[in-house]
Amino acid sequence: MKELVSNSTTNISQARKAVEQLKMEAYMDRMKVSKAAADLLAYCDAHIGEDPLIIPVPASENPFREKKLFCTIL
């Protein structure tokens, strides 16, 4: 897929860009997994009551579960 250009400038620029990208990634601010995981849990907890696939809403409110036929008389 990539053309093999044996151009030393291209190789150097690619290597430099890779180094810059890695530097940026290495120096980024990270948080502890315990805190990040706690936040994921908190989000779940806060929204789980509204999740119709976990706390099923009554069949009459879920358009897919009710047996009503959707036909319009033209």
Partner 1 sequence: MCDQTFLAIVFGPCDKCSKEKPLRPVYIKSEQLSYCSLCVEMMATEGLRENETLASLKSEAESLKGKLEEERAKLHDVELHQVAERVEALGQFVMKTRRTLKGHGNKVLCMDWCKDKRRIVSSSQDGKVIVWDSFTTNKEHAVTMPCTWVMACAYAPSGCAIACGGLDNKCSVYPLTFEKNENMAAKKKSVAMHTNYLSACSFTNSDMQILTASGDGTCALWDVESGQLLQSFHGHGADVLCLDLAPSETGNTFVSGGCDKKAMVWDMRSGQCIQSFETHDSDINSVRYYPSGDAFASGSDDATCRLYDLRADREVAIYSKESIIFGASSVDFSLSGRLLFAGYNDYTINVWDVLKGSRVSILFGHENRVSTLRVSPDGTAFCSGSWDHTLRIWA
CA distance between the termini of the chain = 56
Q: Does 25 bind partner 1 (CB under 8 A)?
A: yes
CA distance 7 to 25: 27
Q: Does 71 bind partner 1 (CB under 8 A)?
A: yes
The answer to whether 55 touches 48, Cβ cutoff 8 Å, is: yes
Binds partner 1 by CB under 8 A, chosen from 3, 4, 6, 30: 30
**Min dist. Cβ of residue 1 to partner 1 (A):** 7
Binds partner 1 by CB under 8 A, chosen from 9, 58, 60, 74: 9
Tell me how many degrees the CA angle 35-39-40 measures, rounded to the nearest 5. Answer: 120
**Min dist. Cβ of residue 25 to partner 1 (A):** 6
